């Protein structure tokens, strides 16, 4: 696990050093670089495998291929054995070296042989060609910017900002999707001119020309389907192997544990391969705290369990978490992950997580809601939905709606309105439009009202992607989520928060073999009646207590309704959303922002989340655009 960085088309030794120094947290154990005319690259190393011999860059036998690598190749031992039989000679025991020999043997097709998480840069000295690739699920980040035949790339955007040629400027077109989704969908970022190499893609740069290609995608075949027994057996075998591979390490490791089915399965599988698993959970000392459930399961599985509790005063550390995050996510839950990673790193250097299972096996409540709504529109005339059902929801007691939704916070009048609007306009929207409408933080009307006069035309739906083509309805919905929510929200916040503390995160459910299997399964293996993640729960019956198998997914969220009146949070709000500051920034109407702040007193979770998303955006601008030191 490392951080990589470099540039092509020009020379600047001082810049290369600065690019590495600003991301030293990603690799405090070592550094390395390769420089030649008009090309330089470097890395910071977090040593996990082959602690003594795994320094980078690493080259092939004749030095014609040189690689800097961020990530882990889990099947490196098997690949190494295969490559040795094909005549390749290795000088280390590390996973990095398989990359140069694999590329030497198979070229870009080598990516199909890799099982792991990665972003690597490979320089071909003979062709003066740069090859950069990112893993299938997007677990490891890669940013780049190009202009005038020059290319800069890095694991973190802050490395690119070390160049005087990269402006510290807001990508104004990205503000609208940020307010809607709470993140900016790749390949765009909030930085003007800085882009993301999308997951499952590679790029080539040669003589100032850049080309990008996709080498892997989630497919939605829609059958023919096998028997449930065959699917279940393969899932068990692949999951067991995925956990085994992700436990390969020369340093201590542990696991995040929430007591949900995903992390519980991971920890139970780990316990079958090692004596005593160290587990880590975070809570909030509030009525919705679920750390007791995680503690009980850890005890039953014989784990060495650790608990972290976030407190209101921890919000003083939000600016530092945003600095590490770089691509802001408009949800204060990022702070919880930052705190969890910090404490976990004191005990271990590698941590496993159940991340990624929901996106393949339909684990969110909105999967059910959208699917049920689609089914209902096939049997209920549209005019009844628009003129009877939607008005009924709009006038229903909010306490009743709270009971119908899994979300543990108070839905409130604004949440009721959004639900009614979702139902009223469902038929006229695309699948992606409905997916966005159901989870949008600010809808189109709210964004138009929020923007300042000179920015109001930024409110648009032009950035909404088209629907996936072909395949069953549920699989197309999951593919939408896989292509942005997973990569631009969940995995982003996990990578940046763990690496902020030099901690490596591994996700067995993101083994591409499991993802491909899940999308080959029929919908009934994912959603069956009121049961989500059916195949996972069937697997859990073999290895987990009954209450953990049956336990419904409780959304993991920061309970702002119990925190928002604290001094730490109120101080942040006053600093970031002061009327004069908002006016000078020029994005939002100061009076509308003030009205929104006043609505926080209702305790409705949507208003709380909206205000904090604006706070996070302003903190990001203060840190990266204004270069203010806030810690």
**So which residues are the catalytic ones?**
2
Could you tell me how many helices (H) and strands (E) the chain has, helices first? 28, 17
Strand, coil or helix: what is 280?
strand
Strand, coil or helix: what is 528?
strand
SS3 content of the chain, % helix, strand, coil (to 5): 50, 15, 35
**Residue corresponding to tokens 């964004």:** 447
Cα–Cα dist 122/102, whole Å:
11
- CA-to-CA dists, residue 619 to 319, 329, 560, 612, angstroms: 6, 11, 18, 10
Tokens of 312: 């209101």
Strand order across the beta sheet in which 58-59 lies? 58-59, 65-73, 116-124, 129-134, 201-206, 209-214
Strand order across the beta sheet in which 504-506 lies? 304-309, 278-283, 253-256, 350-352, 504-506
Contact (CB, 8 A) for 408 and 288: yes
DSSP strands (E only) in 190-342 = 195-196, 201-206, 209-214, 253-256, 278-283, 304-309
Tokens of 191: 């930085």
Contact (CB, 8 A) for 70 and 119: yes
Tokens of 495: 């990578």
Beta-bridge partner residues of 248 = none
Beta-bridge partner residues of 279 = 255, 305
Strand, coil or helix: what is 133?
strand
Cα–Cα dist 474/472, whole Å:
6
Query: Which residues, including other chains, have CB under 8 Å from residue 62's CB and lie 6 or more apart?
Result: none
Tokens of 55: 């320094």
Strand, coil or helix: what is 352?
strand
Shortest CA distance to 121 belongs to which of 148, 138, 142?
142
What is the DSSP annotation of 19-69? HHHTTGGG-BTEEEEEEETTEEEEEEE---SSTTT--SSEE-TTSSEEEEE
Query: Which residues, including other chains, have CB under 8 Å from residue 451's CB and lie 6 or more apart?
Result: 458, 459, 587, 588, 589
- CA-to-CA dists, residue 260 to 336, 346, 555, 557, angstroms: 17, 24, 10, 14
Strand, coil or helix: what is 386?
helix
Strand, coil or helix: what is 339?
helix
- CA-to-CA dists, residue 215 to 95, 206, 212, 531, angstroms: 21, 19, 10, 34
Strand, coil or helix: what is 130?
strand
């Amino acid at each position: 696990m490392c951080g990589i960085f470099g540039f092509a088309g020009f020379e600047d030794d001082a810049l290369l050093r600065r690019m590495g120094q600003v991301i030293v947290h990603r690799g405090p154990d070592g550094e390395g670089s390769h420089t030649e005319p008009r090309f330089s690259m470097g890395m910071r190393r977090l040593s996990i495998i082959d602690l003594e011999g795994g320094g980078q860059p690493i080259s092939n036998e004749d030095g014609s291929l040189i690689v800097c690598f961020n990530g882990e190749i889990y099947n490196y031992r098997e690949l190494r054995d295969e490559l040795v039989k094909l005549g390749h000679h290795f000088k280390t025991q590390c996973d990095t070296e398989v990359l140069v020999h694999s590329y030497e043997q198979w070229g870009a097709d080598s990516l199909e042989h890799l099982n792991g998480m990665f972003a690597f840069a490979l320089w071909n000295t003979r062709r003066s060609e740069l090859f950069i690739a990112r893993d299938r699920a997007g677990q490891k980040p890669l940013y780049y910017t190009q202009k005038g035949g020059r290319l800069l790339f890095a694991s973190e955007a802050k490395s690119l900002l070390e160049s005087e040629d990269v402006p510290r400027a807001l990508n104004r077109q990205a503000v609208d999707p940020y307010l809607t989704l709470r993140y900016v969908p790749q390949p765009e970022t909030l930085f003007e001119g800085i882009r993301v190499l999308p997951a499952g893609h590679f790029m080539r740069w040669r003589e100032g020309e850049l080309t990008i290609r996709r080498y892997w995608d989630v497919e939605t075949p829609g059958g023919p389907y096998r028997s449930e027994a065959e699917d279940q057996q393969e899932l068990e075998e692949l999951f067991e192997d995925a956990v085994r591979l992700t436990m390969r390490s020369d340093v201590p490791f542990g696991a995040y544990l929430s007591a949900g089915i995903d992390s519980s399965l991971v920890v139970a599988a780990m316990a079958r391969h090692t004596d005593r698993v160290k587990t880590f959970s975070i809570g909030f000392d509030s009525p919705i705290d679920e750390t007791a459930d995680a503690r009980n399961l850890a005890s039953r599985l014989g784990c060495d369990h650790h608990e972290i509790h976030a407190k209101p005063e921890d919000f003083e550390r939000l600016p530092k978490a945003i600095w590490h995050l770089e691509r802001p996510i408009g949800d204060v839950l990022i702070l919880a992950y930052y705190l969890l990673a910090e404490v976990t790193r004191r005990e271990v250097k590698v941590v496993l997580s159940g991340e990624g299972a929901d996106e393949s096996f339909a684990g969110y409540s909105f999967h059910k809601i959208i699917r049920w709504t689609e089914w209902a529109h096939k049997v209920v005339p549209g005019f009844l939905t628009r003129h009877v059902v939607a008005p009924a929801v709009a006038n229903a007691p909010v306490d009743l709606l709270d009971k119908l939704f899994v979300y543990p916070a108070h839905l409130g009048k604004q949440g009721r309105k959004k639900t009614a609007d979702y139902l009223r306009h469902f038929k006229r929207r695309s699948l992606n439009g409905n997916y966005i409408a159901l989870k949008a933080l600010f809808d189109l009307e709210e964004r138009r009202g929020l923007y300042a006069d000179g920015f109001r035309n930024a409110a648009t739906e032009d950035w909404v992607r088209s629907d996936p083509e072909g395949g069953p309805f549920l699989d197309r919905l999951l593919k939408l989520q896989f292509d942005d929510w997973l990569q631009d929200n969940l995995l982003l916040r996990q990578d940046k928060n763990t690496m902020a503390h030099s901690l490596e995160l591994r996700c067995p459910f993101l083994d591409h073999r499991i993802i491909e299997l899940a999308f080959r399964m029929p919908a009934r293996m994912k959603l069956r009646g009121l049961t989500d993640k059916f195949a996972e729960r069937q697997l859990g019956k073999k290895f987990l207590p009954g209450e953990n198998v049956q336990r419904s997914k409780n959304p993991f969220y920061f309970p702002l309704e119990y925190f928002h009146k604290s001094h730490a949070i109120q101080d942040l709000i006053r600093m970031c959303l002061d009327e004069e500051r908002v006016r000078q920034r020029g994005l939002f109407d100061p009076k509308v922002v003030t009205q929104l702040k006043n609505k926080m007193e209702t305790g409705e979770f949507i208003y709380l989340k909206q205000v904090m998303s604006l706070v996070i955006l302003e903190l990001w601008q203060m840190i990266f655009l204004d270069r203010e030191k806030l810690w």
